[in-house]
Structure 1
């Protein structure tokens, strides 16, 4: 859903929020106040220095992003410091984000911060509810924006932090940003070295911080302000668990992984393995990809073009919210990776879903009416508009996703494997013995294993069975010389991609009855027959059959609920016992679950690997590194491998290992 932007009025060059009757900053002293209240009070200059390893990170969490001044000041400080220095991870919760035009106006007030503001403006997201990830300095500085009202964000997400900036509007103007829920959350997700600062000296803020286990001090406020509050975590304070969700089974009871080596094994070199490896590398980890074939992209991900494809349900369901979040993240992920590479692999040409029959037109209208998304993400276009976008004589209306596109898989693979932190080991099969004994993990001095080879998961004989099924799919290649070629990806009952190396790719067939990746001329005919049905008037079936120049068949896997499987590997017997009460009372609260410390799964994407794999990789890497988790509890549960065990118990059956 689209969030309302801040109701701003500019008074004498200062943004004033009309709803909260307060200014964002003082134009003359705003930067100096930020440096005094937040940067100096939390000793950020000292704490960012002297990193002990490449994963060493200072995590800052802020309530109220506003004009972004606090983040920009921290970013400028980070850039000014000599090496070695820690990474900076900055998370900020904002219920009413500034519009891009207001942010541009705010940025002009401090020309000395022009570089940092330009970097922010280049990535500043559309006001869509949820998580937005921005990355700077090759991943060494990151900004996680949560466009949610504060109380909703605290219910939905986990904010791990070493530093808290409490910077909402004054308590007298916006009481909801200063309630006990915030301080309970701080108690749960802060460590023994966490510090806090805020401009206010209100008594109830001080008392809530004390109750949350912080040692509170009052110091002189900025300039004419008499006092402000700083705080540090009490070493012997008790963690408050009331900030956990009622159903916490998707969270590991051991939420602090022991990272000794900064090295993770990635099993499988398909699209899931590659996106996981580059996400790890950007976080400072060494990633070793173990691939049993002769090279990367040997399975279903091996087709030459992958498209960002996802059909939205007609209702704004949890599945729809997850898909929106995944596509938003994937679009920015591939665009960001492309900027860092000399190889062209990501093509932001737009993806058009044609309303090629009456049923599809009705579905698309429901999506437009119910989802309330900005046009930067999705908009409806008539046939005439689509003719201009696609370059073809389109006869139907459709939905346009302007920031989506397609991936040149071979070029992307080359980009990933060129990273200094990534190693590929070919022709090495990961076995049950490797997993059960941790032999490979220990011999390679690695901290964790992420299993991304869904097709062979069952062969590993891991004692957590997954309801996944293989399905064979085939794409067809056409010589492009005889056809008008599209400028965008076109989707209907299948898809047609823009040309690559003189070929057009169409697809894809789905065969649930075969699990062998054989190539079939019959599937070419089927792909072509569907294409001429939904892409009316482009060509005829006979001509298309004559221009077939190749094909690619592969085995995809999907789960029984058609959602990827991403997260820590559950301990089957331990969790059956831990949650046995669910067999009698399915609604009873659950505490954190029992999972293997070092094994993670990233599987079962079906045809949506390009859309889901970047966000899934982000979830796993943030979990491993104890960073703020960018997925709401609702979506983490949708992806969690433990969902199958929980569903089984709620139906009255222990989850079977047979």
Structure 2
């Protein structure tokens, strides 16, 4: 569970009772003392203004700051303000911070009230600062060309596994005398591993053991004049060498313009890549992503940690993502969702999920009376209530993402083959060839099996048909999405969305009257108020085929040649990992989200974008652990057949029961 900071407010300043120290200083005489100190210590002594003014203007570039101790977020806001003032529009700021006990949203807002000049920046952060979970949380601020990767965990757990190249370090947190656990060799070892030539650091402390630890790690360390009453501080540079120029970003082809392909294109484009999207149909979101409504909520079972964690991470990430797209209320609406447990088995699941995940703040268990009040209609069982759940119009979301200036869309172009020559990929369609791509992402659902016959993926078709009905007197009061054997949305423009049927192994997409009737009959199971729903008329219906995998996890990651894998021998003396496999050759897969792609695809696309760029030597902050990434690998079934189960490190559930 997420343990929030326990604060006392002393003269309006947040004070940590755990570490017996203030988060920032302020007084009636010097109310901006904390902000001024941040600027002096971290911004000035990392020379950020000068460095940002010198960033390349004519091509995308990235700057990474790693901070120990997010606290009130003051350092982030101050850096973001300076970034906005001096960095070129083509640049992107990546701010990585580690915090064991984050502020609540209310405490964060109260702390920021001290600094009115940061109000706009604070608002942008606070709009994203919700549904935080233990582990890695990604908060995107596209209006500022910035991202915040917030690790909610003990620094001792994060630092040994951090996978990034930093341009600057903010060594904050509480003083070494108050928080000695953080100022250990693990911090200095991580800094040595995750720094590039000319990486800088700054810290408010001048403690001798900190200076010696930094020097031993390879930093040139200088004592500088501290701020205010602090006589000295430390700052320095890694190896004092000239920083090499970043490599050009790869040109990427994405095959498929459904939610997986559009999300993949969007996140690569926002990171500066030129992306070309190829779609065989004459419009985007032509498959399952073309439904007029899609639900955003996690279905949890408290038994499969990997599946549950994907659902939880995707839920919070996708809600922030669709909000960032700026969709209007006709395309994205938060209305909450009640997940009913109709059968005895489902009631057990509801109770188990609530017991396991209720402390995260994403959901809570409510009884029938509470659920009825929330829903506005009569419910008869205990439910899980997701107050932030929403519905979205997938087609509108897809079109919005593909409108990015770095994305080029090619419709009515079915890709029939892929080939690789001179380190570049070529795509063959029926009418022409496309060449010069450093990387290709195959995101065309079940059609990936035809394009990649030797992939080893098991793609299972699942037919689903949804429908729309005009509102009735019994349904009119509905305030939340209801979910049980199917779903029903609140009325919008006089209509409710309902669905969807689930037919595993069926790839048909023709409309079926019996499926319409099945959806109408399903409504009766949601509420006794809907007992006449079976006689309603379906005014709109749509059927599509989704594809899934045997373990209900998507296939996301690099696709390695099967012949190369078969001839690979893993080391027997040490625990193998993916570095022992042949290097990725620029071919990636993003498919098999089943019926949850609207929620899981954006998160997986963001993870894939960072991993892909890492393969091209751009070491941006990663959004997931290596063990979690391994569990999504598109060739995981092949690894097991080859006897390489040890590669697929079992994902360790980080959420306390």
**Aligned-residue CA RMSD in angstroms?**
3.0
1:501 CA displacement: 5.2
Give the alignment partner of residue 564 of structure 1, picking from 534, 538, 554: 554
1:153 CA displacement: 2.2
Alignment partners' CA distance in 2, 1:69 and 1:407? 33
Alignment partners' CA distance in 1, 2:10 and 2:98? 25
- Residue by residue over 1:137-163, the C-alpha shift from the partner in whole angstroms, topping out at 9 and shown as x without a partner, is 525022222211112223555243211
1:403 CA displacement: 1.0
- Residue by residue over 1:450-469, the C-alpha shift from the partner in whole angstroms, topping out at 9 and shown as x without a partner, is 22112111111354321222
Counterpart for residue 621 of structure 2: 628
Give the alignment partner of residue 487 of structure 1, picking from 456, 479, 503: 479
Counterpart for residue 58 of structure 1: 63
Alignment partners' CA distance in 1, 2:241 and 2:580? 22
Alignment partners' CA distance in 1, 2:647 and 2:207? 52
Q: Which structure 2 segments of 5+ residues have no match?
A: 649-657
Q: Does 1:539 align with 2:531?
A: yes
Counterpart for residue 242 of structure 1: none
Equivalent pair of 2:279/2:412 in contact (CA under 8 Å): yes
Alignment partners' CA distance in 2, 1:152 and 1:188? 15
Equivalent pair of 2:66/2:166 in contact (CA under 8 Å): yes
3-state DSSP of counterpart to 1:15: strand
Q: TM-score by structure 1 length?
A: 0.88
Alignment partners' CA distance in 2, 1:645 and 1:139? 42
Tell me whether 349-358 or 519-528 shows the greater mean CA deviation. Answer: 519-528
Question: CA, structure 1 residues 284+527, in 2 after alignment: closer, same or farther (shift >3 Å)?
Answer: same
Equivalent pair of 2:263/2:601 in contact (CA under 8 Å): yes
Q: Does 1:293 align with 2:281?
A: yes
Q: Does 1:382 align with 2:367?
A: yes
3-state DSSP of counterpart to 2:84: helix
1:603 CA displacement: 0.9
1:411 CA displacement: 2.6
1:620 CA displacement: 1.8
Counterpart for residue 360 of structure 1: 346
Give matches, 1:12-27, under 5 Å: 12-27=11-26
Q: TM-score by structure 2 length?
A: 0.88
Counterpart for residue 460 of structure 2: 469
Counterpart for residue 580 of structure 1: 570
Question: CA, structure 1 residues 393+586, in 2 after alignment: closer, same or farther (shift >3 Å)?
Answer: farther
1:7 CA displacement: 1.8
1:425 CA displacement: 0.8
- Residue by residue over 1:306-342, the C-alpha shift from the partner in whole angstroms, topping out at 9 and shown as x without a partner, is 112432012472332222111111111112212xx45
Give matches, 1:132-531, under 5 Å: 132-138=137-143, 140-155=145-160, 157-234=162-239, 260=248, 263-315=251-303, 317-338=305-326, 341=327, 344-375=330-361, 377-434=362-419, 438-440=425-427, 445-461=436-452, 463-480=454-471, 484-485=475-476, 486-499=478-491, 502-531=494-523
Alignment partners' CA distance in 2, 1:640 and 1:653? 13
Question: CA, structure 1 residues 651+46, in 2 after alignment: closer, same or farther (shift >3 Å)?
Answer: closer
Equivalent pair of 1:571/1:596 in contact (CA under 8 Å): no
Question: CA, structure 1 residues 193+464, in 2 after alignment: closer, same or farther (shift >3 Å)?
Answer: farther
3-state DSSP of counterpart to 1:498: coil
- Residue by residue over 1:19-76, the C-alpha shift from the partner in whole angstroms, topping out at 9 and shown as x without a partner, is 1122222214322221121111111101212334453121111000111111111111
Equivalent pair of 2:16/2:23 in contact (CA under 8 Å): yes
Equivalent pair of 1:97/1:127 in contact (CA under 8 Å): no
Equivalent pair of 2:546/2:595 in contact (CA under 8 Å): yes
Question: CA, structure 1 residues 221+577, in 2 after alignment: closer, same or farther (shift >3 Å)?
Answer: farther
Alignment partners' CA distance in 2, 1:435 and 1:540? 59
Equivalent pair of 2:172/2:204 in contact (CA under 8 Å): yes
Equivalent pair of 2:295/2:391 in contact (CA under 8 Å): yes
Q: How many residues align?
A: 629
3-state DSSP of counterpart to 1:519: coil
- Residue by residue over 1:601-623, the C-alpha shift from the partner in whole angstroms, topping out at 9 and shown as x without a partner, is 21110011011011111112222
Alignment partners' CA distance in 2, 1:636 and 1:351? 29
Equivalent pair of 1:62/1:167 in contact (CA under 8 Å): yes
- Residue by residue over 1:524-578, the C-alpha shift from the partner in whole angstroms, topping out at 9 and shown as x without a partner, is 233333432344341346414xx12342221111112110111222343444444
Counterpart for residue 49 of structure 2: 45
Alignment partners' CA distance in 2, 1:548 and 1:82? 54
1:394 CA displacement: 2.3
Question: CA, structure 1 residues 561+30, in 2 after alignment: closer, same or farther (shift >3 Å)?
Answer: same
